[in-house]
Structure 1
Amino acid sequence: MRQIICTLAISIIFSSQYFAQWNKIEQITSPFIYSALFDDDNIYVGGDSLYISTDKGKTWQASIVTSQPIEITALFKYGEKLFVGTYGSGVYISSDNGMSWQSFNLGLIDFAFYAKKFVASGDTIFYATDGGGVYYLVNNTNEWYDYNQNLPSNIAWTINDIAVTNNNLIVSAGGSGFYYLRPKGSSKWIEKRIQTPQGIYTTPNAFLSTGNIVFSGSRFGIYKSTDEGNTFDSVGISAMNMSVVSFTKDKNRIYAGYTRSSGNDFFVWYSDDFGNNWSIFDHQFQFLRQLYIYDIKIWAATNDGLWYDELETTSLDPIENPVNFKLEQNYPNPFNPSTSISYSINGFQFVSLRVYDLLGREVATLVDEYKSPGNYEAKFDASSLSSGVYFYRLKNDTDVETKKMIYLK
C-alpha cells in the first residue's frame, strides 16, 4: 500500500548567477581539502592539517594531530570521540574536540592506513580504506577487526565509497562495475554490478543512502536503488567525460557533484523529487572532492580549498502536514529494564536518537541514519546501567528535542 504524506514545501531557489556567489575560506591555508565534518556549531576540515571552527565557520584554528606531515582524508564523530583518517598514517582519535590526539591503529594492516571513509550502524563503526578493505569497531573498544571475508583483495580492497542502509552494508570497490553488499548478520559479501542502458558496467564513485533508497554515481550518470542497494536503475542522467564524485542533501533536495575528466570544473545537479528529475548548474572550480549542506549553505571541498555559498530559501504556500518532527514521552516511564520511544520525522533526513546520563555522557545510540518521513519507534534496554534519571535526544540537521526518563530497578 502506498503511503502518501503531505509536507510543507520548502524550496531552494537557484538563479543563473548562483555559482558566481561562492566564497573561499581564506583562513584555511591547505591548498587541498579532502574531507569535512559538520556537527552543531562545529566544523572540522581535513587537508594538510585539521582545521576547526566552533562558530559555524566565522573563525578557524589548526589542530596538530601529529608532528609528521599528513593528509586528512576522512572525518567522523561518534558520541564524544572525533575520528581522523589519514592517507598513510592510519586513524587518530580525540576525546576533547581536537585538543589532544592518540593513534588508533590496533588491528589494522599497513594497507589499511589509507583512509577513505567512516560510517556507523548502531554501535558499530565501519572504516573503509584505499587498499586494506573494510574494518569495523564496536563502541567502547580499542581494536579494529577485519571485515573482508570473501572480498577479493586484488579488486575489492580499494574502496571508492561505503554506505549503510537499514539492512545492508554496501561498498564500491576497484573497477569493472563491481560493488559489494553484505546483509546484516551475514558472514559474506555478495558481488554485484551496475549496468548502463547501453550495456556497459559502471563502477560507483559515490553513494547516498536514505535507509531504504540508495543513490549511486559514476562516470555514466546517476542510478537509484529502491531495494537497499540490491539493484540499481538509471535515472536518465548521463554525461560523457564527467564523473559523479559526491552526493549530499537537505530536507527536500538531493545534490550530485560532477567533475569533468579534465578536473578543471564541476557541475552540481539537484533533484526535488527524490531523484526522478534533475536540473543542472555550472561553476568553474578545480577538482571537486565533496559537497555538503550545512547552515543553509552549500559547501565544496576542492583542490583549491574550501568554498561555500548561501542558499536562498523560499517557503511556498503551506500545505497541511500531518507528520511533524516530534519526540514522544517514553512508555512505560518509569521503566525496568526496557522502554519504547516513539518519534516522527517530517522529511527525508539524517536522524540521531541518543541517550545521556545526568552528567551528559552518552550511554546509548538508538538511531543514527537517514530516515524517510513517517512515524517510528525505538527500544531502549537499560539493564546494564544504574538506576536513575536519563535524557534522550532526537536530532536532525535543524531540529532538536530532548525528554527525561526514569530507570527504576
Structure 2
Amino acid sequence: MKKILQIVFVLVFISVSTVLNAQVKLVQQSLPLISDVSLLTNTFGYGVSGSYVLRTFDGGVSWDTVANVNGVTFRRILSIDQSNLYAGGEKGRFARSTDAGASWTVTFLPDTTHSVYSIKFTSLSQGNVLTSSTTAAMVVKTTDAGTTWATTLNHTTGDLEDMDFFDANRGVAVGGGVGKMDFYYTVDGNTWTLAPRPTIPSGVTYTRIDVRAVQFVNTNLVYAVGWGSTVGMQPSILCKSTNGGASWTYLEQLPENRVYDNLWGVYFKDENNGVAIGGASRGTILLRTSNGGVTWGPVRIPCGASLDIIYGNGDYLFVGGGDNMFMKSTNFGDSWELITNIPGSSLYTIHFPDKNTGYAAGYDGVLIKTTDRGLTWKGSYVSTGFTCTNVWGIYFLDANTGYSASTYGMVAKTTDGGVTWTKSIPDTISTSTVYYGVYFINSNLGFAVGKLANNQDMIAKTTDAGITWSKKVNLAAGSWRGVHFFDDQKGIVVGEKLKAVYTRDGGTTWTLSTFTTLPPGYTTPNLRDITFIDENTAFAAGDSLVVKTTDGGATWNYINIPELKVGLTGISYKKYANGNNGTLFSAGMKTGSTRIAGFYHSEDMGNTWVNNVAGIDLATTIGDVSSTEEQTAYVCASSSTIYSNIPIVSVEDEAGISSSYYLGQNYPNPFNPATTIKYHLAKSGTVELKVFDLLGREVHSLIMGEKPVGTHEVRFDGSQFASGVYLYRLSAGEFVQTKKLMLIK
C-alpha cells in the first residue's frame, strides 16, 4: 500500500507542476560547425571548428577537443601523420603542431588580409597554401615547414577556391566568378601559368562559372567541379585535364543526367571511378562516374545539406558540410549511413502524436525523432528520391504515419515512422511555391496550406490518404501558414497579412474571417499557427499577438497579453486524457539586436498568460510548439534544439541494479547550485566520473580512483560553472555511460 501511495503522489506532482518548471533543453545538435576534416584512416583524423582543433577515433561519430588556439579562426587543416599537423585560418593565420595537436605555433602568411582556402604539403617541410577572397588570391610556398614563405602566384583579378598538388612540382589552382573560369597550373612548383578556358557548349548559358574543387588522379589526369544553379537551369560544371592542367575539357552531360547546383568537392579512387558532391537548393547532390567523367549520373544520398568535405579510401567515402553532420558509405555511394546522431538545423515544426512519440523537422529537411517522451532523439532526413527540401510543417496521425509540408510545393508521406518518405504532392521547380502547414483529420482526409506564388495562397485537400489532391487558390491574395480542424467538417486556415478562412463543410467551401477589436498598428500582422479548443473556440498566434474566435472562425477578437513582444510561431492545445480542460501553449522569438524568447501558457482558456522562459538559450531561435494530453509542451528551435517543461525526475530501484553497473540521472535536474549523482558498481575497481561541456572538454573530475562494489553517491557543485547543459560520464572497467545534466542559475 505504501508503494502505491508513493506512485500516486509522483503522478499527481508531475501533473500539477508541469507548466511551472524551468524549461529543460532535451537535445541539441551533436556537433559544432566543423569547417574542415583531415582523416588519416577511415576512423582516425582531425578537424577544426573556430579556434578549436578536434580529433576523432571513431570515423567522425564523436570528436574530442585537442586544443583551443586563441586568436585563430581556423578554416582548413591537414594532417601529415598522427603527430604533424598544419592548419590555416582567417587573415592569413597559419599554425603548426608536431605533438598531435597538443601545442601549436602560430605565424602569419605573406597575405594577412585573406583566408586560407587550401593547404597541400608533399613532405613534412615542403608545402603550399592558398589564400583568397572574392577579389584576389595568392599561393605561397614553404620549404622549411612554414618558417618562411615565398609567393609563387599572385592572382589579382578574382578568387581561387581550391588547389591540389600531385608532387612537389605539379600543381593546379582553380577559381573564377562572373564571366571567369580560372585554371592555373605549375610544373616546377614555382611558376604558374593560366590555362585556356575550356569551351562551353552552345546552348548552355552561365551567369558565373566558378570552379570550386580540384583533384589530381595521376601525373597528368586532373578533375575539377564547380558552379551550377537552378536559376536559368545552369548545369553543374564538370571539367577534366589529361596534361596536368595545361588544357581542360568541359564534360557536357546528357539532359537526363544533368544537375543544377554547386559542386564543392571531388574524389576519384582511380582514373575512371569518381564522385562529386555539393548541393543543396533541393537536396544534397552526389554525382558518380565510372568512365573517366564521360558520363555522370546522380546517386541518391538521403540528406539535404550542402556537402563540401570529402575523404575517400577506395570504396570508402566520408562526406560532410552543412547541418554540422557527417555521412559515410562503404560501397562507393550505393548506400549511406548518417553517423552524426543529431544534425544541426533550424527546426521549424514539431508534433507529438502521442505522449511518447515526437517529430521535429526544418531546414534542409532535417528530421529528429523521439520515442521516449523526448529523453533521447535520433536524426534523419525527410528525403524523397533526389529531393530533400526545407520542411515547414509536419503532422503525424500516429507513431508511424505522417506528412510533411515543404518548399518547392512538396508534401511527403511516411508510413514507417520517418524511415522512408514518398512524394504525395510532387515538388516543382518554383522557389515561390511552398506548403507551410499540413493537418490530417483521419487516415484519408487531410489538408496542406501555403502559397502557389507570391500573394497567391493555396489550400490542397485529399480524401484518399494523399494519393490525389484538389486545390483552391487565391482565396485571400496572401500566403497560408497554419491549418487546424476540429472534426471532418469544421476547420480554420490562417496566414499572412491578418487573413483567415473557415469551413463548415469539410473544405468544400471557405469563407473569409473578420477581425475586430485590434489595437492601433495591428492592421496586417502575420498569423502563423492555429489550434481549436472546442468546436467553436479557437486561438491563433502570430506577430506579437494572439486572437480568439468563439464562432468557429467567422469573427476574431484580440487577446491582450501584457508585454507580448515576440513573434509567436506556434500554438498548441490538448485536453487531458480524462476530458478535462488542458493548457494552451504558445511560443516564439523576437530576433535582432535585442533577443527575447516567448514560451507562454494559459491554464484558464486564454484569459491570462504566463511567460516562462527560464532555461531557454536566447542564442537559439524558437520555431514551433506541440503539447500532449499530459500537458507536456515541447518547443523546437535552431541548432536542432528541443526545450520542454517535462519534469526530469530520478527514482532508482536499487534492487533491480544490484548485480549490474548503473549510472543514475542526477537529482535534482535542473539544479542550482548542486546536484547528486548515484551510480552502482557490480564489482570493485578503478572508477572515473567526469563532467564535460558539449564540445567534449573536461570541466571537472568528480571521481578518479578505486571504489568498492555497491551503490555510491557523489555531489557535484556547479557554483563555479555557467548555466547550461553538461555531460557526465562514468567509466568503470569496460562499462562506460554518459548522461546529461542541466545547471540553471
Q: Which residue of 2 aligns with 1:116?
A: 117
Q: Distance in 1 between matches of 2:152 and 2:332?
A: 43
Q: Quick one: which of 28, 31, 40 aligns to 1:29?
A: 31
Contact 1:299-1:306 at 8 Å conserved across structures: no
Aligned: 1:138 with 2:143 = yes
Post-superposition Cα deviations, 1:312-349, rounded to whole Å, max 9, x if no partner, equal 489xxxxxxxxxxxxxxxxxxxxxxxxxxxxxxxxxxx
Q: What secondary structure sits across from 2:113 in the alignment?
A: helix
Q: Distance in 1 between matches of 2:190 and 2:319?
A: 36
Q: What secondary structure sits across from 2:279 in the alignment?
A: strand
Letter in 2 for 1:254: G
Q: Which residue of 1 aligns with 2:66?
A: 63
Change over 3 Å in CA distance of 1:311–1:187 after alignment to 2: closer
Q: Which residue of 2 aligns with 1:305?
A: 324
Q: TM-score if structure 1 supplies the norm length?
A: 0.60
Q: Distance in 2 between matches of 1:215 and 1:313?
A: 18
Q: Which residue of 1 aligns with 2:285?
A: 267
Q: Which residue of 1 aligns with 2:521?
A: none
Q: Distance in 2 between matches of 1:50 and 1:233?
A: 39
Q: Distance in 2 between matches of 1:51 and 1:28?
A: 14
Q: Which residue of 1 aligns with 2:246?
A: 230
Q: Quick one: which of 73, 77, 88 aligns to 1:75?
A: 77
Deviates more, 1:35-44 or 1:176-185: 176-185
Q: Which residue of 1 aligns with 2:596?
A: none
Q: CA deviation at 1:59?
A: 4.5
Q: CA deviation at 1:169?
A: 2.1
Q: Which residue of 2 aligns with 1:190?
A: 194
Q: CA deviation at 1:182?
A: 2.5
Q: Distance in 1 between matches of 2:293 and 2:217?
A: 12
Unaligned runs of 5+ in 2: 1-27, 228-235, 334-745
Q: What secondary structure sits across from 2:211 in the alignment?
A: coil
Change over 3 Å in CA distance of 1:88–1:303 after alignment to 2: farther
Letter in 2 for 1:118: I
Change over 3 Å in CA distance of 1:164–1:45 after alignment to 2: same
Q: Distance in 1 between matches of 2:182 and 2:191?
A: 19
Change over 3 Å in CA distance of 1:138–1:250 after alignment to 2: same
Change over 3 Å in CA distance of 1:313–1:146 after alignment to 2: closer
Q: How does 1:196-207 map to 2 (within 5 A)?
A: 196-198=200-202, 202-207=209-214
Q: CA deviation at 1:85?
A: 1.4
Q: CA deviation at 1:231?
A: 1.5
Larger CA Rg, structure 1 vs 2 = 2
Q: How does 1:2-401 map to 2 (within 5 A)?
A: 29-30=31-32, 32-40=33-41, 41-48=43-50, 49-57=52-60, 59-68=62-71, 70=73, 72-78=74-80, 80-88=83-91, 90-105=93-108, 107-112=109-114, 114-121=115-122, 124-131=126-133, 132-140=137-145, 142-148=147-153, 151-155=154-158, 158-165=159-166, 168-175=170-177, 176-184=180-188, 187-198=191-202, 202-211=209-218, 212-219=220-227, 220-237=236-253, 239=258, 241-250=260-269, 253-260=273-280, 262=281, 265-283=283-301, 284-294=303-313, 297-312=316-331
Q: Distance in 2 between matches of 1:226 and 1:184?
A: 18
Q: What secondary structure sits across from 1:298 in the alignment?
A: strand
Q: What secondary structure sits across from 2:201 in the alignment?
A: coil
Q: Distance in 2 between matches of 1:128 and 1:268?
A: 26
Q: Distance in 2 between matches of 1:63 and 1:270?
A: 35
Q: Distance in 1 between matches of 2:314 and 2:210?
A: 32
Q: Distance in 1 between matches of 2:314 and 2:192?
A: 40
Percent sequence identity is 14
Letter in 2 for 1:209: F
Contact 1:50-1:62 at 8 Å conserved across structures: yes
| Greater relative CO (CA pairs within 8 A, separation 6+) | 1
Change over 3 Å in CA distance of 1:172–1:185 after alignment to 2: closer
Q: TM-score if structure 2 supplies the norm length?
A: 0.35
Contact 2:318-2:327 at 8 Å conserved across structures: yes
Q: How many residues align?
A: 279
Change over 3 Å in CA distance of 1:27–1:96 after alignment to 2: farther
Letter in 2 for 1:51: L
Post-superposition Cα deviations, 1:143-172, rounded to whole Å, max 9, x if no partner, equal 222122xx44132xx321112246532211
Q: Distance in 2 between matches of 1:145 and 1:43?
A: 29
Post-superposition Cα deviations, 1:231-289, rounded to whole Å, max 9, x if no partner, equal 222333374641221102335731111314x3x52211112232233221234322222
Q: CA deviation at 1:115?
A: 0.9
Q: Distance in 1 between matches of 2:165 and 2:314?
A: 24
Q: Distance in 2 between matches of 1:86 and 1:46?
A: 10
